[in-house]
Amino acid sequence: DAGVIQSPRHEVTEMGQEVTLRCKPISGHDYLFWYRQTMMRGLELLIYFNNNVPIDDSGMPEDRFSAKMPNASFSTLKIQPSEPRDSAVYFCASRQGGWNSPLHFGNGTRLTVT
Partner 1 sequence: AQSVTQLGSHVSVSEGALVLLRCNYSSSVPPYLFWYVQYPNQGLQLLLKYTSAATLVKGINGFEAEFKKSETSFHLTKPSAHMSDAAEYFCAVSDRGSRNDMRFGAGTRLTVKP
105 is an interface residue for partner 1 by CB under 8 A? yes
3 state DSSP class of 34: strand
Cβ-based burial of 100 (10 A; exposed 0-12, middle 13-18, buried ≥19): exposed
Q: How far is 108 from 6, CA to CA, in rounded Å?
A: 6
Least Å from the CB of residue 28 to partner 1: 17
Binders of partner 1 among residues 40 to 99 (CB under 8 A) are 42-43, 45, 48, 50, 55-56, 91, 93, 98-99
Q: Quick check: 31 binds partner 1 (CB under 8 A)?
A: yes
Applying CB under 8 A, the site for partner 1 has a residue count of: 22
Which residues, at least 6 apart from 28, have a Cβ–Cβ distance to it below 8 Å?
A: 96
* Interface with partner 1 (CB under 8 A): 4, 31, 33, 42-43, 45, 48, 50, 55-56, 91, 93, 98-100, 102-108
